[in-house]
Chains A and B, each alone.
Chain A
Amino acid sequence: MRSFRLRPLILPLVIVGAIVLMVLDLAGWLGPTSGLIHTAIRPPALFFTEARRTIGSGIATLRELGELREKNLELQSRVDQLTVENLRLAEVEAENERLRAFLKFAQTNPSFDIRGGQIIARPIGDSASLLTHPIQIDLGTEHGLEQGMPVVTDRGLVGRIARVYPRASDLILITDPRSRVNVMTQASRAQGVLRGRVGQLPIMELIPPEIEISEGEIVITSGLGGHFPKGLVVGQVVEVIRNDNLMFQSAVIRPTVDFDRMELVLVITNFPPAE
């Protein structure tokens, strides 16, 4: 190990190499390399995810047990058994509910060819960078996925596929600052563009000032621009921002999808997104 010595030219060469790498990646020549890295990182990522979940659920269980002990010590062993059993059944029931809801979504939207995928990046994690938050799903080009395809859950729009690898894809959530979605309010039919923000709820901008929108209104995709099908639920208006000095009004939107608890998503594969 100690025999390794930095030669003066190595640092500039590495920097040039990095620039070449960026250019090649932007030209789309490094797709297989990214796919390889995603495949390689999957086992340790799943391991850490499982560990995090186990520890988290262990802590939660211990907390519950502590409260029960205070109430009734003599029933402790019985409560332990019931807690474990309840957790298992709750999980089964929750999964059942989710699948039933997805089935309902598929039945009420028969025109969409949907493909179910288990979110692997939420378990695998966000991103390793502070600056981006893509989420990965366990479907890729091998499953017919393409860049730009809309992703939903039974509760509404999640985002779109940003990059596709053979067996995985990166999603851009509607809360991501890079995301723009053409939306409209369901009751007042006000059109606008939903923009994700850093650390804040997304905002619907470019709303014509003459339209009266109110808090609590449901926001859906407008279908304009051809990036998303029309009518997908996006969220709810929580705050309307009006300013007489501005040409447009805007509204803060709370997404209907709980991105932190999202375990399954649906990819709409038969919707050809506009370039």
Chain B
Amino acid sequence: MLPLLIFIPLALILVAFQSAVLNQITLAGGHLDIIILSLVLFTLYGSYELALLAAVAIAPIMDAVSGLPLGVSVIPLLTVVTLAHLGSKTIFGARLGWPILVIFLGVLLAALLTMLELILLGWELPWYDLLLRVVVPSAFLNALAALVIYLPIVLFSEHQETRLP
């Protein structure tokens, strides 16, 4: 219960920042997705279980602000967190390439799953245009952001490891 009490205000702040600031800035047609970036970061360098809980707290808030049916983002965000977690257990997990790849795949996967759910719920979506003009540019943009964010973290952790006896 305690983590949820912490995550809900954090989720409100994160979603507000995403909608008020990041979704106002379009770079090459894409948007930075601080929600997926944070969840992946939390999964890789924090706790998988808590990241799942954070995803469950964020998703309905994100849905309400985005005019989506409540609950639509739960499965996509849980999938991204699980993907990041499972990948980190493989040989790719410890490398810098993994966070970048998982962000790229995560943005794509989350959007595809959300679109699939919405289509199943009867929404008419221009899925091809959305994919081509918004989702793919966003995936590249976030992968680039992942490089900028994770590089110092990886360098710092490697530095710490070399200092250990």
The bracket for how many chain B residues form the interface is: 35 or more
User: Which residues on B sit within 8 Å (CB–CB) of A140?
Assistant: none
Alpha-carbon separation in the docked complex, A47 to B15 (Å): 13
User: Contact flags (1/0) for B118-129 with A, using CB distance below 8 Å?
Assistant: 100101111001
Given the known interface contacts A131-B115, A131-B130, the answer about A14 and B67 at a Cβ–Cβ threshold of 8 Å is: no
Evaluate whether A4 and B71 lie within 8 angstroms (CB atoms) in the complex, with A44-B16, A128-B65, A199-B129 already known: no
Q: Which residues of A contact B43 (CB under 8 A)?
A: none
Residue in A4, A11, A38 whose beta carbon sits within 8 Å of that of B78 in the complex: A11
* Cβ distance A165 to chain B, nearest Cβ, rounded Å: 9
B134 touches A130 (CB 8 A): yes
CA distance A11 to B67 in the complex (A): 25
- The answer to whether residues A21 and B49 also contact, given A48-B17, A131-B134, A177-B125 and a CB cut-off of 8 A, is no
Who on chain B is nearest to A22 by CB? B71
Residue contact A49 to B67, C-beta cutoff 8 Å: no
Tell me how far the C-beta of A193 lies from the nearest C-beta in chain B, rounded to whole angstroms. 13
Contact for A131 among B20, B64, B125, CB less than 8 A: B125
- Option from B48, B62, B126 in Cβ contact (under 8 Å) with A129: B62
* Interface contact A127-B23, CB-CB below 8 Å: yes
* A21 and B70 contact, Cβ closer than 8 Å, known pairs A4-B49, A49-B20, A123-B20: yes
A4–B76 Cα distance when bound, in Å, is 23
Task: Evaluate whether A128 and B15 lie within 8 angstroms (CB atoms) in the complex, with A11-B78, A22-B69, A199-B134 already known.
Answer: yes
Q: How far is the CA of A2 from the CA of B124 in the complex (A)?
A: 43
A45 touches B134 (CB 8 A): no
B59: chain A residues within 8 A (beta carbon): 18
Out of A1, A22, A41, A198, name the residue touching B65 (CB < 8 Å).
A41
- B16, A178: Cβ atoms closer than 8 Å: no
Look across to chain B and name the residue whose beta carbon is closest to the beta carbon of A52. Answer: B21
Number of residue pairs spanning A and B whose beta carbons lie under 8 angstroms apart: 168
- Complex CA gap A26/B69 in Å reads 7
B67–A134 touching, CB < 8 Å: yes
Q: Which of A21, A125, A170 contacts B74 (CB 8 A)?
A: A21
C-alpha spacing A30/B61, complex, angstroms: 13
**Is A33's beta carbon under 8 Å from chain B?**
yes
A residues in contact with B125, CB < 8 Å: 131, 177-178
Q: A37: which of B48, B61, B135 is its contact (CB, 8 Å)?
A: B61
Contact yes or no, A41 B12, CB < 8 A: yes
List the B side residues contacting A40 at CB < 8 Å: 12
Q: Could you say which of B13, B60, B64 contacts A44, with CB atoms under 8 Å apart?
A: B13
CB interface residues, A 189-231, toward B, < 8 Å: 197-200
Distance between Cα atoms of A41 and B19 in the complex (Å): 10
Size class of A's contact patch?
Answer: 35 or more
Residue of B nearest to A172 (CB): B67
B133–A199 CB distance below 8 A = yes
B-chain residues with CB within 8 Å of residue A87 when the two chains form the complex: none
Given contacts A11-B78, A45-B16, A170-B67, whether A129 and B121 have CB atoms under 8 Å apart is no
A200 to B87 Cα, complex, angstroms: 37
Given contacts A127-B65, A131-B115, A177-B129, contact A18 B135 (CB under 8 A): no
A259 to chain B, nearest CB (A): 12
Residue numbers in B under 8 Å from A21 (CB-CB): 60, 70-71, 74
Q: Which of B50-58, B93-101, B151-159 contacts A (4 or more CB under 8 A)?
A: B50-58
Report how far A37 CA is from B64 CA in the complex, Å: 7
- Is B69 in contact with A25, judged by CB distance below 8 angstroms? yes
Could you list some 14 contacts between A and B, CB below 8 A? A18-B59, A26-B121, A41-B64, A45-B20, A49-B20, A126-B23, A128-B23, A128-B35, A128-B62, A130-B107, A131-B68, A178-B123, A197-B129, A199-B129
Q: Which residues of B does A touch, CB under 8 Å? A: 2-3, 12-13, 15-21, 23-24, 29, 31, 33, 35, 47-50, 52-53, 56, 59-75, 78, 107, 111, 114-115, 117-118, 121, 123-126, 129-130, 133-135, 138
In addition to A4-B50, A4-B53, 14 A-B residue pairs with Cβ atoms within 8 Å of each other are A1-B2, A6-B49, A6-B52, A15-B74, A21-B60, A22-B69, A25-B71, A26-B69, A41-B65, A49-B20, A128-B65, A131-B111, A132-B68, A162-B67
